Amino acid sequence: MTGKPKADPPAAKGGRSPFFLLKMQKSPPYSGLFLSILCLRPQVEACGPRIPAARTFIVDFPLKMSTTKAVLNAVKASLSPARIGTYETATGALGDEDPRALALYAWNAEVSAALLAPLHICEVVMRNAAAEALEAVYGPRWPWEATFILSLPNPSGNQYSSRRDLMGVAARQPSTGKVIPELKFVFWQEMFTHRHDVRLWDAHLRRVFPCHNPADTVVSLRRAIYQDLEAIRRLRNRIAHHEPIFTRNLKEDFERIVKLVEQKSALVASWMVANQTASHLIPQPPVFRGGKLWMPAHEEVAQLAYRLWYDGGKRIGCSEQDWVSAERLMGRFD
């Protein structure tokens, strides 16, 4: 990304300069489009004397994908018009040269991939915690323990059956350690239903989740775990089937994952959060202004914030405000 000083443009109608202008333009050296941002320096008074003169500069940065008509049509044909149509409807994309649907699709896929790491850790933590409680009650070979097997629900028809799932897996696997990862996610979720309170959770829930809120009762804690697992299971299934997740509250989904892991171990939760990218991607979906794609990266915001600080006389203690001002200029906030 390059920044170059440019003379102030003429004032907009009414004698006032526009806050920012957007322009999509072809850039011959590249096959895609570049987004040119004409940023006009606001007058800042919060951190010192008023800055009288507005300065402008142009910043060009490439979009993450080619947006040519041929590429858009090829992607739609390969992934199916119906699939891309979901994203066209969501973004209000118009015509076969509008990049917005593919921008949202790419972000959806990127966030989905990023969520797999925390989902993986959460699932393993939760099933191991449940297995620990099961071993305490039914012994190390609990998958073959008749008392436990008969305690599981076994609905008829096509409904999921925990009992049939366990019996099928246990018949194929030689050890408990091999059974645990083969059972479906929903098996572990259903372990947190009320039918297991007396046999399992009344005595062991607080022990296997030592970092729980001490004010919670066993029933309320177990119920909350079940509800969080239900939300996470639905998210996991949509990701596994490559379905849209952009309409979900992904911030809340991520917080549920962290909360579940944290109840087992705060250290593991901290390690998980430090080794994932989902929380950084979730608050940065592609933004559209005036029908144009608007996706400033961290580096663009940093350069603009530096320019505001430099033009403002290198004021001490105002870096945070300059960063917020840069984000506002670049469309991060309304």
| Separate counts of helices (H) and strands (E) for the chain | 14, 6
What confidence score (pLDDT) does residue 305 get? Answer: 75
Question: For residues 166 and 75, what is the distance between their CA atoms, to the nearest angstrom?
Answer: 42
* 217-to-60, 205, 252, 256 alpha-carbon distances in Å: 56, 10, 23, 19
| 157 domain residue, yes or no | yes
| 94 domain residue, yes or no | no
Q: Residue 49 in contact with residue 55, Cβ under 8 Å?
A: no
Query: Angle, nearest 10°, between helix axes 69-79 and 100-138?
Result: 40
- 163 and 253 both lie in a single domain: yes
- 150 and 175 both lie in a single domain: yes
- 158 and 307 both lie in a single domain: no
Question: For residues 134 and 122, what is the distance between their CA atoms, to the nearest angstrom?
Answer: 18
- 237 and 322 both lie in a single domain: no
For the chain, how long is the longest CA-to-CA vector?
84
- 312 and 169 both lie in a single domain: no
Per DSSP, 150 falls in state: H
- 121 and 200 both lie in a single domain: yes
| 286 domain residue, yes or no | no
Q: Which helix (H) or strand (E) holds 26?
A: strand 20-26
Tens-level pLDDT at each residue, the chain (334 residues): 444 444 433 333 333 322 233 333 333 332 333 333 333 333 333 333 332 333 333 333 334 444 467 888 899 999 999 999 999 888 888 777 777 888 899 999 999 999 999 999 999 999 999 999 999 999 999 999 999 999 999 998 889 999 999 999 999 999 999 999 999 999 999 999 999 999 999 999 999 999 988 899 999 999 999 999 999 999 999 999 999 999 999 999 999 999 999 999 999 999 999 999 999 999 888 766 555 555 555 666 677 777 777 777 777 766 677 777 776 665 544 3
Nearest alpha carbon to residue 160 among 128, 198, 190:
190
| 70 domain residue, yes or no | no
| 288 domain residue, yes or no | no
- Extract long-range pairs of 194-201: CB within 8 Å, 24+ residues apart: 194/219, 194/222, 194/223, 195/151, 195/153, 196/151, 197/222, 199/137, 199/151, 200/133, 200/134, 200/137, 201/133
- 154 and 187 both lie in a single domain: yes
Total domains in the chain come to 2
Q: Which residues contact 222 (CB under 8 A, 6 or more apart)?
A: 192, 194, 197, 201, 205
Q: Which two tokens stand for residue 258?
A: 């962290």
Annotate 157-216 with DSSP letters as a single string. Answer: TTS--HHHHHHHHHHH-SSHHHHHHHS-HHHHHHTTSGGGIIIIIHHHHHHHSTTS-TTS
What confidence score (pLDDT) does residue 310 get? Answer: 77
- 261 and 310 both lie in a single domain: no
- 44 and 117 both lie in a single domain: no
Q: Which two tokens stand for residue 254?
A: 């991520």
- 147 and 258 both lie in a single domain: yes
- One-letter identity of residue 201: W
Full domain range(s) for residue 34: 2-63+295-329
| 101 domain residue, yes or no | no
- 301 and 275 both lie in a single domain: no
| 263 domain residue, yes or no | yes
| 173 domain residue, yes or no | yes
